Structure formats: C-alpha cells, structure tokens
Structure 1
Amino acid sequence: GLNCVDLDFAAAGALCVEHLAGLGHREIAVVGGSPGVYARHTGFAERTLGGLRERAALLGVGLLHRPCDGSHDAVAGVLARILDERPGVSAFVVQNESAVEPLLALLRRTGRAVPEDVSVVAVCPEAVAAQASVPLTAVAIPAQELGRRAVERLFARLAGPDGPEATGVELLTPVLTVRASSGPRAALRVGG
C-alpha cells in the first residue's frame, strides 16, 4: 500500500560498469559511502552495489568495493588500500559525492592522470559531476524529477486510492552522461 518514486540505483550501478567495461577496463574499484551507510543497509547504496556486482560478474570484470567517509584522509587511506590490493585498477566508480574532489586530487598526486591513466565515473548530483575539477562522467541523481513524480503520485493518491498511480514503486531509468573523466584503458591505446 505504499508509494515510492526513486532512481533505479541497481541499473545505475550496472550502467557504470557497462560504460567502463566498454572502454576496456577490467579492474574497477568502487569508492562507496561511509561504512555506516552499509551498516544501516541503506537502500540506494545496497541497490547500487548490487547492480555494480551483478554486471561486473556478467561481464567478467573485477570489482573491489570500499566504503569511505569522504574526508581527504579517509579517501587517501581507501585509495592506498585499493592500489595495494588491486594494483591493476584502471577505473573508479564513486558513490560518495564528498569523496569526489579528494579522490581526483589524490590521483593527481600519485601521478595518475584522469582519464589518461585511470577513469572515474560517479553516481551523484548533476552539479557535482559538471563542476568537478575534472568534469565527471556520471549517472545523475534527478532530484527535481523525483520530487515532481512523487508529488504527482501523492495527488493521484489523494484523488482516489484505486487509481493506477495511487500505490506502487516507480523507478526512474538512469542516464549516464559522458564527460572528461572516462576514457579507454591506457594499455589499450594505440602507442600506449
């Protein structure tokens, strides 16, 4: 009897992996939300991670997930751990908007250019992606559209509990916008 409008986060995760795998990336690291997000079993985080894992398994892509608080020090520790555990990582998916700029800065500091050496894709608000120091290829979280659809469903429910939009779940199809942060895996480039 409940009504819900949300982004299809599982499909968003799958879309990120498809994009990166299509560019030749075979090892992807996920910089997720804070550990508490996963301890609480927060729906969007779990659904995104599920979509990432399912599509990575289907495409034969290695996937390493690490929760991260998003502070510069936390991102530095997570990045060091990722590079130690999986030195072949050539792409990152970020689902923690506070980790975006620290990650981009730390990658530069370690001599990894984006997208020449590593690709970065995010699931984040459009403004975060477009205004990052390297404009991010991203699946936007369409907050305004979600709000508009939720209000429409609320009014439909108030008009009559038996209407087609009175109850149920509506998941918006994710859209990935390609920007400057993703490119072919370096080893696959001609002359690379």
Structure 2
Amino acid sequence: MAKIDDVARHAGVAPSTVSYVLSGKRAISEETRQRVLKSIQVLGYQPHAGARALASNRSNVLALFVPLRTGMHVPVIMQFAISVVTAARQFEHDVLLLTADEGVKGLERVAGTSLVDALIVMDVELHDPRLPVLRALKRPSVLIGVPDDAEGLHCIDLDFAAAGAACLDHLADLGHRRVALIGSPPEVYERETGFATRLSTGFTDAAARRSVAATTHPCEATPVGAKTVVAQLLDEHPDLTAVVVHNEPVVEPVLRSFAEAGREVPADLSVVAVCPDELAVRVTPGLTSVAIPAEEIGRMAVQAVMGLLNHPENDPNGAPTLVQPQLTVRDSTAKPRP
C-alpha cells in the first residue's frame, strides 16, 4: 500500500507538500498540486481519514438534529434524513443523527465538542427556543424550516404558505366554494411548528382572497382521528365539496371515511393532498397533490452548510431559501356538481 513518502518521491516534492495539498492548509502552486494529485491517483494512495481530519482540524461529520416529537410522520422525516446522508457523502462527510428532543441543551452539548463540523436542524418552530443558541454558536448551521425571525440564520424549506395557497386556488378555479383543510395533529399546531402553521395560513389567506368559505381542522394521525374529522365536517358543512389533506398518515383513512359516508371522489368531493408523490399515486383515484421535495431540500441544506463551513465569511442574511411548490393534477379533483 502506497504511503505519503511514496507519493512525494513519485511527484518529486517533499512529504510536507503532499500533506498541504491534502489539507489545503497552505497555498500550493496549481502545477505542483496537479502533479501531486496525479501521483496519488497513479499509486492509489488513500489518506488515513483520522490523519486527514487532524490535518484539516475537522471531524468530517455533520450533525442532523431531528427531534422525534409527537405528531411527526417518521417516514417523511426519514426521507429528509436519507437525503442529507447521501448528499453529505458527496462532500466526504458522515452524518450524526440526533433524534432525542433535547432542545437547547442538545445543541450546546454537541456543538461544544469536536464531534461535528456543522449542524443541520429540523422541526423548526415559529418561535423556536433553539434560535438564540444557533445564532451564538461558532459552528455553521442550517435550518430545514423557517421561524418567524430568520435574521442571522440560514433557512431552507418548501414554501408551505404558497403550497396551501396553490391547493386552495386550484379548487377555487374549479368552482368550489366550500373547502376544508384536514391538517396536522393538534400538538403540531400547539408547538407552532413552522411547516404546518405556514400551510394553514397560506390556505386561509387564499380562501379570503378568492371568497371561498374555508375551515381548518387539526386531525389526529390515526384512522379514528380521520373518521372523527370527516363525520364532523359532513355534520357541520353538508355543502362541503372539497378538502385539502396535509397529514400523510390519514390520507387513505380520510378517503375511506368519505366513501363510507357515500361521498364519491371526485364526483361528490374533490381531494388535494400535500404528500409524497408515491402516496398520491398509490391510492385510487390518484390524488392531485403538492409533493414534499425531501430529496431536493436535504441536498440543498448540505450544500448550504458546506458552503458556510468552507467560506465562513459568507454570513446568512436572514432571507430564507424557499422551494416553490409544484401542484400535480390527477384524478381526484373536478368541478363540483351543478
């Protein structure tokens, strides 16, 4: 197995020059750098990961904070986590996944060690108590989510307000005048979790703009919760002609409950969901939906945090990066009956 001295002899440079090329800690001419890299490739030299980390004063590990709180839909959360892990490997970084709900103490505990180079934080609340700590930390951080005050933070997320508006506008364009949002579990709204609150606000604001009668109904993420909300809707709003579902676990129970109540989709009731595409196309009829771009957002978060890590002078300006929603029309929406 080739050693660093072998690479140095092959390239005609000192071993320290090879180390500087690998670590980037000292400027090396481009001609010399390319000669060293070619020798590394020819000899098949593999730098020791620990030595490389010491040389660069980095651990080559990112921390991903995903507190598994009540009301969260783990399969979708894991799509984000998998995307972060995959993207991190492209930067030769591993990911330390932290799922305990430790709040501020968890951030301080991890950031106060040399375990990780940077942090990615999920499940962001509008008034998240972790924000002052994130602003004060010396390690780069990126939020997947947007709080009310993003000043001094780098935030990336789907534009959930625009997603809620897109769902309502699609239904209003079809002629629906009474629409309901079957939303996330109550505790998600109680925590003022950003994605759920923003989607509800976008939906409600669009309804007012389009003169559509609209209500929002938090829903427990269980078949019983779905059946209860559907019964309530049909009892209180017999003129209901459309629903938006933003609660992945109850999409199928909601459809079943409406079918059991004699409401056929889309003849009697149009349905739009905010959910992964694989769920939207799995059910019958296929659901008009706004997809959750977990892969794209996870990749963007890693790219952003690596950019901050490599260029710390690029301070975030507080303007969040929002992915615009894409609504795909399928067979679950139609004009209401005359």
Equivalent of residue 56 in structure 1, options 207, 214, 236: 207
| Paired residues, number | 187
Structure 2 length normalisation: TM-score? 0.54
2:242 is the alignment partner of 1:91: yes
Q: Could you say what the CA RMSD is over the residues aligned between the two structures, in angstroms?
A: 1.4
2:309 is the alignment partner of 1:158: yes
Deviations 1:45-82 (A, max 9, x none): 00000000000000000101111113111111111111
Whether contact under 8 Å (2:153, 2:316) holds in the other structure is no
Tell me which stretches of 4 or more aligned residues in structure 1 moved more than 4 Å: 164-168
Aligned to 1:123: 274
Amino acid of the structure 1 residue aligned with 2:218: P
Aligned to 2:297: 146
Within-5 A mapping of 1:9-88: 9-88=160-239
Pick the structure with greater CA Rg: 2
CA distance in 1, matches of 2:326, 2:313: 31
Equivalent of residue 330 in structure 2, options 176, 179, 183: 179
Q: 1:29 to 1:167 in 2, by over 3 A?
A: closer
Amino acid of the structure 2 residue aligned with 1:152: Q
Q: 1:167 to 1:46 in 2, by over 3 A?
A: closer
Cα displacement (A) at 1:108 = 1.2
Q: Select the structure that is richer in strand.
A: 1
Deviations 1:66-108 (A, max 9, x none): 1111311111111111111111110000000111001111111
Whether contact under 8 Å (2:289, 2:328) holds in the other structure is yes
Bigger mean CA offset, 129-138 vs 169-178: 129-138
Amino acid of the structure 1 residue aligned with 2:336: R
Bigger mean CA offset, 158-167 vs 67-76: 158-167
Aligned to 1:106: 257
CA distance in 2, matches of 1:63, 1:44: 19
Percent of pairs with identical residues: 46
Deviations 1:29-56 (A, max 9, x none): 1111111111111110000000000000
Higher relative contact order, structure no. (Cα contacts within 8 Å, ≥ 6 residues apart) = 1
Q: 1:158 to 1:53 in 2, by over 3 A?
A: same
Aligned to 2:287: 136
CA distance in 1, matches of 2:279, 2:315: 35
Any stretches of 5+ residues in structure 2 without a counterpart? Answer: 1-151
Whether contact under 8 Å (1:35, 1:68) holds in the other structure is yes
Whether contact under 8 Å (1:137, 1:180) holds in the other structure is yes
Cα displacement (A) at 1:164 = 7.7
CA distance in 1, matches of 2:262, 2:226: 16
Q: 1:166 to 1:53 in 2, by over 3 A?
A: closer
Whether contact under 8 Å (1:153, 1:165) holds in the other structure is no
Aligned to 1:3: 154
Structure 1 length normalisation: TM-score? 0.93
Cα displacement (A) at 1:134 = 2.1
Bigger mean CA offset, 117-126 vs 162-171: 162-171
Any stretches of 5+ residues in structure 1 without a counterpart? Answer: 188-192
- SS in structure 2 of the partner of residue 11 of structure 1: helix
Cα displacement (A) at 1:133 = 2.9
